[in-house]
Amino acid sequence: MASLAEISTAKHVLDPMCGVGTILVEAAMEWPHATFLGIDKSESQLKYALDNVKKAGVMHSVALLKGSVLDLPVVSESIDIVISDIPFGKKFTCSRDMKELLPDIIHQMERVLRIGGVLVLLLSQKLHHHLKTNFHFKSDEIERLQVPKLDSPSLSNSESLNYKGQTATDKLDFPSLTHIESHSVSLGVTEAVFFKCKKTSQTMFC
Ligand SMILES: C[S@@+](CC[C@H](N)C(=O)[O-])C[C@H]1O[C@@H](n2cnc3c(N)ncnc32)[C@H](O)[C@@H]1O
């Protein structure tokens, strides 16, 4: 996920549902020049995250904060990379259906990303299908020439999915986000999808 998110050139990286901090810790060890912020609503998860951060020796570059992804305590357009593993509903139950929360979650992520920033999500196949069916992102067909080419992520069992032919009709619009790529990934017992977007224009705030 971190490779797909182009962290190598980033300064500020946010995981707004960081859990025990696995993604941030792995990324902080690989890219020590960046700063990482992990937010989670669960104090117990944050305690484990702090342990992991200490054990990995990345205290200098990782900060942890209690908060909600639905109301991020983060300045708009201040983050280069948002990377997150959205709860599948198996291990982490949510009081509301994730499908219901997803628009607000993505709006918050869109808000804090700077223009040119990258969003990478790990989604269940079900949630990815919901997103594909009900949400509208710009396609990268036009943007592709301007987007720096990434080295292909070495994902086993990966399959490129795209959003060609999509129309915005009746879909929830995220006008500042351009869909770059999606890849299927096997997590052993579960199949999931890496979903990558780039913020290509300013967010319109109402
Ligand atoms: C799938 S887990 C993240 C796993 C994480 N990648 C790790 O390494 O542990 C999802 C996390 O989202 C958190 N979460 C659920 N709802 C949230 C909310 N509204 N705001 C912030 N965090 C939330 C849960 O507490 C849980 O830690």
Q: Whose CA is nearest to atom 25 of ligand 1?
A: 42
Cβ-based neighbours of 92, under 8 Å, separated by 6 or more: 19
What is the number of residues in the chain?
Answer: 206
| Domain-located, residue 1 | no
Is there a contact between 13 and 37 (Cβ–Cβ < 8 Å)? yes
How many distinct structural domains can be found in the chain?
A: 1
Ranges of beta strands (E only) in 7-132 are 12-15, 35-40, 62-66, 79-85, 113-124
| Domain-located, residue 2 | no
Tens of each residue's pLDDT in the chain, 206 residues: 888 998 988 899 999 999 999 999 999 999 999 999 999 999 999 999 999 999 999 999 999 999 999 999 999 999 999 999 999 865 555 556 888 999 999 999 999 999 999 999 999 999 999 999 999 998 875 445 444 444 444 434 433 444 444 455 678 889 899 999 999 999 888 899 999 999 999 877 65
The closest-lying atom of ligand 1 relative to the alpha carbon of residue 42 is 25
Which domain, by its residues, includes 118? 7-199
Tell me if residue 142 falls in helix, strand or coil: helix
| Domain-located, residue 42 | yes
Cα 9 to averaged position of ligand 1 atoms, centre (Å): 26
| Domain-located, residue 160 | yes
The closest-lying atom of ligand 1 relative to the alpha carbon of residue 88 is 1
| Domain-located, residue 206 | no
Tokens describing residue 144: 């592709």
The closest-lying atom of ligand 1 relative to the alpha carbon of residue 91 is 1
| Domain-located, residue 22 | yes
| Domain-located, residue 38 | yes
Residue 148's pLDDT is 44
Q: Whose CA is nearest to atom 13 of ligand 1?
A: 17
Q: Whose CA is nearest to atom 27 of ligand 1?
A: 19
Most ligand 1 atoms within 8 A of CB, residue of 24, 43, 45 to mutate: 45
Residue appearing with tokens 């993505």:
106
Which CATH number do you get for residue 99?
3.40.50.150
Nearest to 17 by CA among 58, 73, 67, 77: 67
Binding pocket residue ranges, ligand 1, CB within 6 Å: 17-23, 39-42, 45, 68-70, 85, 87, 92, 94
Distance separating alpha carbons of residues 165 and 197, to the nearest angstrom: 17
